[in-house]
Structure 1
Amino acid sequence: MGNKIFSILLGLAFVGSAQATDITERLSVPEGFSIKPYALNVDNARQLALSDTGIVYAGSRQAGKLHALIDADKDGQAERQVLIAKGLNLPSGIAFKDGDLYVAEVERIVRFKDIDNKLDKAEMEVVFDQLPDKRHHGWKFIRFSPQGDLIIPVGVPCNVCAEDPEFGLLYSLDLKSKKATTIARGVRNSVGFDYHPRTGNLWFSDNGRDMMGDDIPPCEINVITEDGQHFGFPYFHGGTIADPEFGKGKNISDYVQPALNLDAHVAPLGIHFYTGEQFPAKYKNQLFVAEHGSWNRSKKAGYRVMVASIEGDKVTGYTPFITGFMENEQTYGRPVAMVQMPDGSLLVSDDYANAIYRVQYNKK
């Protein structure tokens, strides 16, 4: 497996950037909330992870970088950025467990042991290298299950193509035995999932296929209630829309229906069940969804953070939470993923503005 020591670049991230300040000032949150920069100039910030000591880690996609963000004085803004690694293969997904930081590249999972104490001498080791090497939908979001397995998605290497046993899956990986169990099939490209704090079921976002028009098919939010369920791709989109090439002769009842159909092409990425005490009670155990935004519509859609109201495994509402990332067809930012801080505030990454925002509720 071998080790590789990455060079470390230390630097300060200041909140005074005019561009990022302007973006933050454009963003709107519900009454009683505020949104401010947590860190700026975080190149291509994607999934976030929080260590036990309060260091926030950020993956990236095309930038190939891994950052650490340090708020030493606990004022809600990171004063220091550390570039831990560069030259990685689409390291979008990261997860922290037992002092170690796990990073998903396209074809493998790597680990930085005791990362909080080794920022200046970060040492990488490969822990699993049996993933497909296709870069199309090859970037990943990862998360540990309550049982300690690492959940890994494998998106399909296409817009739409015939079902392949290597792709369109969610895996549960036992890191000790290296045994991978398929927990969901028929998943086009999931870049976000979280466990419901009460039911324990895994919810995940899925990006719908392209080239069927502006308004179909919908993107999806799904929930796994049994391991191995099939969620329809490439045969059905949004649960009931038959694919013109692959849907013929297939039966809708053979596949799991989405928990929620979103607008077409909004590209839901990170999702997060809020479990903190800072936000008003109506947000407790509700699902935050980062709609990254369309690239393939005649008029843009998405570019916002939403809240799905959940009762059990049913969605009862879907309302905006952060808006202003896009206005009059002009893109200012694209939300990606969230992490909840110990005080109950919420961090939101933005890979377009290279920023991470902190949302807090200002109690009266």
Structure 2
Amino acid sequence: MKKQQLLVAAFLFLPAICAALPLETIVLPPGFEIEIYAEGVDNARQMALGNQGTVFVGSRKAGKLHALRDTNNDGKPDQMIELARNLFLPSGITFHNTDLYVAEVDKIWRYPNIEATLPDTPPPELVYDKLPNKSHHGWKFIRFGPDGLLYIPIGAPCNVCESETPFASIIKLNIDTKQVTTVAIGVRNSVGFDFHPTTGQLWFTDNGRDMMGDDLPDDELNHVTKEGQHFGFPYIHNADVIDPEFGHKASNINNTAPALKLGAHVAALGMEFYQGEQFPSSYRGNIFIAEHGSWNRSSKVGYRIVRVELEGNKVVNSEVFASGWLQGEKSWGRPAAVLTLNDGSLLISDDAANAVYRVSYSETE
């Protein structure tokens, strides 16, 4: 077993000693408000909600896991517990039954019955250790599907290249039998997905390749209608952009077009179907996507939350829901993932500002 440093002390939130985050720059639709839910959450990435309301938070380069607890039931966490450190890019986490599942680059761990032991961390159990150990696009976003299987993306180990499976794919794992099934291929780097609340079908974001200029190719929102579908990488992007290096093989694949083009270099990460009841009824069933923001574009894009509306399985509209982390060419934060709380408010993790925000709605007069 890989050694992990488990921490057993709960750390109460203290008044911030650094400059306040400029939430006044965040623009939201009328009736919505944003507030800081938690600060000092190192490199906050995917979040998961426990049965008792605990918000678990993964990280990437920080190598840590955190738990946020609201012990006095005032709607905001008053404890932040560092559950573990020294993990290998533990970006992806999910909660299933009573257990917390954590994805390192090459392993899946389970922390059994974790809320019963908090603030102590239970010893982790190794679930699966046969994932590739390549760190390039190796961090994960994980979630259990309606079929009870654990869905795991495995990014391409490069900017653009041909690679053997399971690279550039999404798989699903039976955690009991260890059987693995390929769900989608030709997926460069998916760091966010969710399941349609009615059909149960998988929708996922995918980051397009770099070094084709400022405006090509788009990041994508994709929809899996049949297991084993090919989504183009590395041969063709967005269904109509032939790759300059590998496009001569594009005619050999049955490429699936994206459900929505999101824009080049926006770095679409975590996404979720909104199923809460606090927001207006028109928001129910919409997809919220966290756009982490560009890193190598001549003018920056992304750094926002996008709302996508569907009718059945068809995208009918997309618009910016929250923006302001990017001011001109300088950014003070980078949204990484979203999570709906039991009260219907929406959490947004920010791995640059080391924070988690809460967006709530109240009707305006």
The verdict on a shared fold, with TM-score over 0.5 as the criterion, is yes
- Match for residue 151 of structure 1? 151
Structure 1: which 5+ residue stretches go unaligned? none
The correspondence of residues 265-276 of structure 1 with structure 2, limited to 5 A, is 265-276=265-276
What is the CA distance between 1:5 and its match in structure 2? 6.6
The correspondence of residues 176-255 of structure 1 with structure 2, limited to 5 A, is 176-251=176-251, 254-255=254-255
Q: Contact conserved, 1:110 with 1:124, CA < 8 A, in 2?
A: yes
Amino acid at match of 2:280: P
Structure-2 change in CA distance of 1:24 and 1:122 (3 Å): farther
- Match for residue 110 of structure 1? 109
Amino acid at match of 2:82: L
CA distance in 1, matches of 2:31, 2:233: 41
What is the CA distance between 1:253 and its match in structure 2? 7.1
What is the CA distance between 1:252 and its match in structure 2? 8.1
Name the SS of the counterpart of 1:251 in structure 2.
helix
The correspondence of residues 1-364 of structure 1 with structure 2, limited to 5 A, is 6-14=6-14, 16=16, 19=19, 21-119=20-118, 120-251=120-251, 254-364=254-364
CA distance in 2, matches of 1:308, 1:346: 15
Name the SS of the counterpart of 1:254 in structure 2.
coil
Structure 2: which 5+ residue stretches go unaligned? none
Q: Contact conserved, 1:14 with 1:40, CA < 8 A, in 2?
A: no
Name the SS of the counterpart of 2:24 in structure 1.
helix
Listed one character per residue, the Cα deviations across residues 325-354 of structure 1 (whole Å, up to 9, x for unaligned) are: 111111110001111111111111000000
CA distance in 1, matches of 2:313, 2:253: 19
Listed one character per residue, the Cα deviations across residues 42-99 of structure 1 (whole Å, up to 9, x for unaligned) are: 0000000000000000000000000000112232321110000000000000000111
Q: Contact conserved, 2:232 with 2:253, CA < 8 A, in 1?
A: no
The percent identity for this pair of structures is 51
Amino acid at match of 1:223: H
Task: Indicate the RMSD between aligned Cα atoms, in angstroms.
Answer: 1.5
CA distance in 1, matches of 2:3, 2:158: 33
CA distance in 1, matches of 2:105, 2:290: 22
Name the SS of the counterpart of 1:289 in structure 2.
strand
Amino acid at match of 1:181: T
Amino acid at match of 2:95: F
CA distance in 2, matches of 1:112, 1:54: 16
CA distance in 1, matches of 2:124, 2:198: 35
Listed one character per residue, the Cα deviations across residues 94-144 of structure 1 (whole Å, up to 9, x for unaligned) are: 000111100000001001111112231431111100000000000000000
CA distance in 1, matches of 2:18, 2:312: 44
Amino acid at match of 2:316: T
Name the SS of the counterpart of 1:117 in structure 2.
helix
Name the SS of the counterpart of 1:250 in structure 2.
helix
What is the CA distance between 1:11 and its match in structure 2? 1.1
Name the SS of the counterpart of 1:25 in structure 2.
helix
Amino acid at match of 1:352: A
CA distance in 2, matches of 1:2, 1:356: 29
Amino acid at match of 1:111: R
CA distance in 1, matches of 2:2, 2:245: 45
CA distance in 2, matches of 1:302, 1:5: 35
CA distance in 1, matches of 2:318, 2:2: 47
TM-score of the superposition, structure 1-length normalised?
A: 0.96
CA distance in 2, matches of 1:30, 1:318: 14
CA distance in 1, matches of 2:4, 2:266: 38
TM-score of the superposition, structure 2-length normalised?
A: 0.96
Equivalenced residue count is 363
Higher alpha-carbon deviation: 74-83 or 170-179: 74-83
Q: Contact conserved, 1:239 with 1:252, CA < 8 A, in 2?
A: no
Listed one character per residue, the Cα deviations across residues 212-269 of structure 1 (whole Å, up to 9, x for unaligned) are: 0011111100000001100000001111101011111422871100000111000000
Q: Contact conserved, 1:3 with 1:125, CA < 8 A, in 2?
A: no
Amino acid at match of 2:114: I
